[in-house]
C-alpha cells in the first residue's frame, strides 16, 4: 500500500486548516501504520479508536480520521503533531468512501444480499449462476471469497479497507461479477458505503444479533440501510415479498426511485407456484412475466427454492437473460455447511449439517427437510455463548416443535458456562436429551437413525472450530458425522 502516494483531497477528505498531505496508505489498526498513512480512529463497542491515535502518530501517520470524541481523547497528541486531523460526524462512512477511492477498482457488476437467514446461500447461488453462464464471478461472505478467484475473509462483511482491497484484487484477477453478503453489523458500521451495486436482495427478517442491535427496530434499520443508502437510485431491489418485512423493504427502495423485482410464493414478478420433493431434491414450477417454467433442483429443503429464485432474480436484475438463468438451476450445488449431506448410513439414513443458528432458521430447516424424510427426523441443536441469550429457549422450542427427537449440545460456549447455556436451550425443549460433548451428541444422534430416518446437525455449518473460552478447538460437524457413520457401520479398519 505504501508504494504510491495521493493527496488527501483525492480521497474525498478535507483536513483541519486545509492541510492536504500525501497519503501512502490506510489503516484502522495503529500497529499497521507506516509513515504517510491515514489512520482511522473509529468508535468501538469496547474502546474508542481515539485511544490509539498517539501510537499511530508515533508510527508516522500523516493524517487522522476520527469523530469529535476521538479528537478530544487525543487532543494533546494531535496538537503537538504535524499530522492533519479530519473530524467527521460519521468517520466510518468517510473511511469506506475513502477506501473505495484509494483502491479504485471493483468487479464491474456487483450485488449484495441482506436478511437474517439465507445470505450465504443466495450469494453463492448468484455466483454459481454467473459461472454457469460463462462469467468470471465470485461471492464474498461467511465462507470467504469463493468462485473463479478465492481468498480468506475474517468477517462476513469485512471492514472497508479489507473489503475494497479484496474487491480491487478480484478485479485485477479478471473477476467481472461479484455477489456479497451484507450483514447487519457491516451495514450499521457503514462498511458497504462506497461499494457500487447494480442490485441488492432481501431474504427475510427474524430474531438475531439483539446482543448488538438491542432492539428489533434497530436491527431492521441496519438491514434497511442497504436499500435506503447503499443501493444507488438506478439500482434494482430484489425482495422476498413473502416475508412480513418485505413490503417495508420494497417501499424503502421505491421511495428512492429504485426498480423493485419481487419474488414470492404468494405472488410476485418471479412467482413460485409449486414444489415436488423426493429423497435427493425437488422439482419447481414457477412463472416469470406470464411464462411458466418447471426446473429440477438437486437441493434438499423447500426453502432452497426461495433462495435460488431470489438469486435468479438478482442475476436477472443485473442484466441476465431469464431463460439462460433458469437453465442453470439444475446445476446448482449445495453451499458448504448449508443443508449439506455429510454422510449416509448403510441402512439409508442420511445425516445433514446446516448453519441454522437462529430459532427461525432451525424451524425452517427442519420443516423443509420433512417432505424428503420417510421416517423420523432427529435434530441436534445448541446456542453460542456471549451472544443473544433471549433466543436460547426459542432454539430448543423450534427443534422440539419440528423434530421427532432432539439432542441439546454445546455450540461455541465461549466465556460462558456451557451447562448454563444448555439449560436455557432445554427450557424450550424439556423432553430433549442433553449431551454436552458435541462429538458424543453427534455419535448418539447417528446411532439412533433407522431406515428412512434423517439427522440434522444444526448451528455450526461450515465452521471448523469450537470456541471454548478464548481457545478455538478443531471441530468439524461434517467430519465428525463421517467418522461416526464409519465407526457405527463398521467401515473403520
Q: Residue 316: which H helix or E strand, with range?
A: helix 303-317
- The whole-angstrom separation of Cα 365 and Cα 403 is 10
What pLDDT does 472 receive? 96
Positions of the chain with pLDDT lower than 70, given as ranges: 1-3, 207-214, 493
The CA angle 271-273-278, to the nearest 5 degrees, is: 125
- The whole-angstrom separation of Cα 178 and Cα 139 is 5
What pLDDT does 157 receive? 82
Whether residue 16 contacts residue 84, with contact meaning beta carbons closer than 8 Å, is answered with yes
What pLDDT does 117 receive? 85
- DSSP per-residue string spanning 384-409: -TTS-STTHHHHHHHHHHH-SEEEE-
Q: Report how far Cα 386 is from the mean position of its chain's Cα atoms.
A: 19
The string over 31-52, giving b where at least 16 C-beta atoms fall within 10 Å of a residue's C-beta and e elsewhere, is eebeebbbbbbbeeeeebbbeb
Residue 116, CA distances (Å) to 208, 225, 334 in order:
7, 14, 19
What pLDDT does 2 receive? 46
196-234 residue pLDDT tens: 999 999 999 875 444 454 587 888 888 999 999 999 999
What pLDDT does 213 receive? 42
231-256 residue pLDDT tens: 999 999 999 999 999 999 999 999 99
* DSSP-based three-state secondary structure for 107: coil
What pLDDT does 209 receive? 47
Query: What average pLDDT is seen over the chain?
Result: 94
Enumerate the known binding-site residues for meso-2,6-diaminopimelate: 387, 411-414, 459, 463
- The residues, any chain, with a CB within 8 Å of residue 195's CB and separated by 6 or more, are 100, 106, 110, 112, 163, 164, 167, 180, 230
Whether residue 414 contacts residue 467, with contact meaning beta carbons closer than 8 Å, is answered with yes
149-196 residue pLDDT tens: 999 998 888 899 999 999 999 999 999 999 999 988 889 889 999 999
What pLDDT does 310 receive? 98
- The residues, any chain, with a CB within 8 Å of residue 367's CB and separated by 6 or more, are 302, 402
- The whole-angstrom separation of Cα 253 and Cα 234 is 10
In the chain, what is the straight-line distance between the N-terminal and C-terminal CA atoms, in Å? Answer: 53
The strand pairing partners of 141, in sequence order, are 144
Whether residue 82 contacts residue 292, with contact meaning beta carbons closer than 8 Å, is answered with no
- Reduced 3-state DSSP string for 244-263: CCHHHHHHHHHHCCCEEEEE
31-66 residue pLDDT tens: 999 999 999 999 987 899 999 999 999 999 999 999
What pLDDT does 1 receive? 43
Domains of the chain by start residue, with CATH? 6-99 (3.40.1390.10), 105-331 (3.40.1190.10), 340-488 (3.90.190.20)
What pLDDT does 156 receive? 82
Report the predicted TM-score, pTM, of the whole model to 2 decimal places. 0.85
Enumerate the known binding-site residues: 30, 115-121, 156-157, 183, 189, 191, 387, 411-414, 459, 463
Amino acid at each position: 500500500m505504501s508504494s504510491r502516494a495521493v493527496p488527501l483531497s483525492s480521497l474525498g477528505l478535507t483536513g483541519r486548516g486545509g492541510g492536504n498531505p500525501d497519503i501512502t496508505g490506510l489503516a484502522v489498526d495503529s500497529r499497521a501504520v507506516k509513515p504517510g498513512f491515514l489512520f482511522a480512529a473509529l468508535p468501538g463497542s469496547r474502546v474508542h479508536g481515539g485511544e490509539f491515535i498517539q501510537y499511530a502518530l508515533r508510527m508516522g501517520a500523516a493524517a487522522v480520521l476520527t469523530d469529535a470524541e476521538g479528537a478530544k481523547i487525543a487532543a494533546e497528541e494531535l496538537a503537538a503533531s504535524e499530522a492533519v486531523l479530519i473530524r467527521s460526524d460519521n468517520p466510518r462512512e468517510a473511511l469506506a468512501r475513502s477506501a473505495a477511492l484509494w483502491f479504485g477498482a471493483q468487479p464491474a457488476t456487483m450485488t449484495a444480499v441482506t436478511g437474517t437467514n439465507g445470505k450465504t446461500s443466495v450469494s453463492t447461488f448468484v455466483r454459481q449462476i454467473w459461472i454457469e453462464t460463462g462469467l468470471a464471478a465470485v461471492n464474498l461472505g461467511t465462507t470467504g471469497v469463493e468462485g473463479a478467484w478465492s481468498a480468506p475473509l475474517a468477517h462476513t462483511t469485512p471492514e472497508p479497507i479489507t473489503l475494497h482491497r479484496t474487491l480491487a484484487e478480484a478485479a485485477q484477477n479478471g473477476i467481472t461479477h461479484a455477489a456479497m453478503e451484507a450483514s447487519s453489523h457491516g451495514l450499521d458500521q457503514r462498511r458497504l458505503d462506497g461499494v457500487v451495486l447494480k442490485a441488492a436482495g432481501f431474504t427475510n427478517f427474524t430474531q438475531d444479533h439483539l446482543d448488538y442491535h438491542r432492539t428489533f427496530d434497530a436491527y431492521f434499520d441496519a438491514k434497511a440501510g442497504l436499500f435506503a443508502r447503499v443501493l444507488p437510485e438506478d439500482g434494482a431491489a430484489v425482495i422476498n415479498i413473502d416475508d412480513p418485512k418485505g413490503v417495508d423493504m420494497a417501499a424503502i427502495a421505491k421511495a428512492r426511485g429504485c426498480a423493485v423485482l419481487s419474488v414470492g410464493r404468494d405472488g410476485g414478478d418471479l412467482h413460485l407456484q409449486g414444489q415436488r420433493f423426493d429423497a435427493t431434491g425437488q422439482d419447481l414450477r414457477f412463472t416469470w412475466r406470464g411464462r411458466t417454467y418447471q426446473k429440477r433442483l438437486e437441493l434438499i429443503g423447500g426453502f432452497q427454492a426461495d433462495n435460488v429464485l431470489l438469486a435468479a432474480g438478482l442475476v436477472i436484475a443485473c442484466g441476465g437473460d431469464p431463460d439462460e438463468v433458469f437453465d442453470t438451476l439444475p446445476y446448482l450445488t449445495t453451499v458448504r455447511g448449508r443443508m449439506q449431506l455429510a454422510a449416509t448410513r448403510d441402512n439409508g439414513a442420511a445425516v445433514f449439517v446446516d448453519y441454522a443458528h437462529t430459532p427461525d432458521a432451525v424451524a425452517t430447516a427442519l420443516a423443509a427437510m420433512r417432505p424428503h424424510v420417510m421416517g423420523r427426523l432427529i435434530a441436534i441443536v445448541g446456542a453460542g455463548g456471549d451472544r443473544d441469550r433471549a433466543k436460547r429457549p426459542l432454539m430448543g422450542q423450534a427443534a422440539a416443535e419440528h423434530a421427532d427427537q432432539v439432542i441439546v449440545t454445546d455450540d461455541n460456549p465461549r466465556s460462558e458456562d456451557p451447562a448454563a447455556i444448555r439449560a436455557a436451550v432445554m427450557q424450550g425443549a424439556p423432553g430433549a436429551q442433553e449431551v454436552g460433548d458435541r462429538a458424543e451428541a453427534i455419535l448418539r444422534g447417528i446411532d439412533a437413525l433407522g431406515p428412512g430416518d434423517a439427522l440434522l446437525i444444526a448451528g455450526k455449518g461450515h465452521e471448523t472450530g469450537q470456541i471454548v473460552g478464548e481457545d478455538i478447538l478443531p471441530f468439524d460437524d461434517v467430519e465428525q458425522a463421517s467418522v461416526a457413520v464409519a465407526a457405527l457401520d463398521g467401515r473403520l479398519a
